Amino acid sequence: MLFRPRPVARVLRRISITSRRQSTDALLPSRSNYAEVLGSRYPTDSATNITPAIISKLPLRLHTKPDHPLNTLRTKIESHYADFAHLSSFSPLVTPFKNFDELAFPADHPGRSVTDSYYVNRDLMLRTHTSAHEVEVFGQGETKWLLTADVYRRDEIDGSHYPVFHQMEGARIFDASPTGMKEVEDDNERLSYHLAQSNIIIEDIPHISPTNPSQATHDPRHSELVAKNLKLSLNSLMLTLFGGATRDEPLRVRWIEAYFPFTSPSFEVEVFFRGKWLEILGSGVVRQSTLDTAKVPNKIGWAFGLGLERIAMILFSIPDIRLFWSEDQRFLSQFTHGQINTFKPYSRYPSCFKDVSFWAPQPEGLHENDFCDLVRDVASDLVEDVKKIDSFVHPKTNRTSLCYRINYRSMDRSLSNEEVNEIQAVVVARLKDQFGVEIR
């Protein structure tokens, strides 16, 4: 959670929608037995939480759109890994088994919950990360590959969080044999030589440690070499991506111990850019069970996953994550394929905020992600951010009161107060209808 509730006047604006009930009812979602997703119909059930706003994003595949900054960034990373297979057409619909179980996520991992992930139904979900395709791609016999895709996570609403974003998974595996390890050593030597010539400062940590161990089935010497190869390979990628912009000063990269269920040892990478450390990616030595499930024997290797929007916002100076979805020519015309240039913001249209205060349903309450998704579904990209500005528990009744401030702003036109009132009325109607809240 990025915000801290502040004590403010409890109800800044009371919204009455009684007179509008007729007109807004038509806009309430119909509880259909089927969801139509990417041209196919799927039965819905109690796990279904995918919304029309999200379904409409599935065909867009921004990472393949001509001239789009995400496409340029993808191509740049693909050129860095020129001899890798470049994959980018995997469907976002996966089973929870593939997204979680195959990668050894525990049964009680919070990512599995309907508050964190989108489900078409209990057996089909939107991938939450590109790692969901590791077993499949290794199983196809690929040994060096990059895979780019849209991924989906339920989240709060602000300038740097969007429920759809793009990730790139990279992986490389070697023969777990003297010949394979010689290949790793040679590659390490080549990469070390290249990095030694470059203006880069790397804060490293041990490749293996008691808290970030080699796997039981691995020869620790193999694991060391592979982790070193992963680090060298990614340091070199960071230099390609960020080196140019920091020509006068050395590029600073730091390695941090991490934990992922499907890698060990595991690492995160941060890059120091314009005065701040930015988290860029997660990575590690691939868990042997992933390769076993993929039926790839006697191999050892590494994988990483990076978020494209995060890097593109830095490289192109794009201030708001919603802009990636803009159809406005003032945004799109600023970019040409293959070119990294600084985005020049055009004037922003005024924003308009509305508050809504309500008693949460008892005893289940209302999860913030459920509130945000409802707002996103009604207002689409007209919502800029949502903040909880007050919450308290009534001392006598024990009921929880919540007040949210929804900030509306269009990227490409002025919104009238009437129009925003209409949208807000639908939000309020749906809050009552879907979650049984009592408006205060």
Question: Contact positions toward ligand PHE, by CB under 6 A?
Answer: 129, 131, 169, 260, 263, 282-284, 303-305
Compute φ and ψ for 195, nearest 5 degrees: -70, -35
Containing H/E element for 232? helix 220-242
For the chain, how big is the Rg over CA atoms in Å? Answer: 24
Q: Minimum distance from CB of 164 to ligand PHE (Å)?
A: 14
- The token pair that represents 71 in the structure block: 């496409």
- State which residue, 310 or 354, has the beta carbon closest to ligand PHE: 310
Q: Minimum distance from CB of 169 to ligand PHE (Å)?
A: 6
Q: Pairing mode, if any, of strands 438-439 and 352-359?
A: antiparallel
In the chain, what are the helix, strand and coil shares in percent, each to the nearest 5? 35, 25, 40
- State which residue, 303 or 360, has the beta carbon closest to ligand PHE: 303
17 neighbors 10 (Cβ within 8 angstroms): no
Q: Minimum distance from CB of 255 to ligand PHE (Å)?
A: 13
Q: Pairing mode, if any, of strands 400-408 and 383-393?
A: antiparallel
- The token pair that represents 375 in the structure block: 């707002």
- Phi-psi label, residue 250: left if phi above 0, alpha if psi -120 to 50, beta otherwise: beta
- State which residue, 48 or 266, has the beta carbon closest to ligand PHE: 266
Q: Minimum distance from CB of 136 to ligand PHE (Å)?
A: 14
Q: Minimum distance from CB of 130 to ligand PHE (Å)?
A: 7
- Chain position whose Cβ is nearest to ligand PHE: 305
Q: Pairing mode, if any, of strands 400-408 and 276-286?
A: unpaired
Q: Minimum distance from CB of 312 to ligand PHE (Å)?
A: 17
Q: Dihedral sign for Cα 360, 363, 368, 373, please.
A: negative
- State which residue, 172 or 222, has the beta carbon closest to ligand PHE: 172
- State which residue, 310 or 376, has the beta carbon closest to ligand PHE: 310
Q: Minimum distance from CB of 64 to ligand PHE (Å)?
A: 20
Q: Minimum distance from CB of 224 to ligand PHE (Å)?
A: 18
- State which residue, 132 or 386, has the beta carbon closest to ligand PHE: 132
Residues in the chain: 440
Cα torsion through 55, 57, 59, 61, rounded to 10: -150
3-state class of 143 per DSSP?
coil
- State which residue, 44 or 283, has the beta carbon closest to ligand PHE: 283
Q: Minimum distance from CB of 288 to ligand PHE (Å)?
A: 14
Q: Dihedral sign for Cα 376, 378, 384, 388, please.
A: negative
Q: Minimum distance from CB of 435 to ligand PHE (Å)?
A: 29
- State which residue, 260 or 353, has the beta carbon closest to ligand PHE: 260
CA atoms within 13 A on the CB side of 406: 28
- State which residue, 49 or 283, has the beta carbon closest to ligand PHE: 283
- State which residue, 229 or 334, has the beta carbon closest to ligand PHE: 229
Containing H/E element for 392? strand 383-393
- DSSP code, position 265: E
b/e code 268-299 from CB counts within 10 Å (16+ = b) = bbbbbbeeeeeebbbbbbbbbbbbebbebeeb
Q: How far apart are CA 282 and CA 167, in angstroms?
A: 11
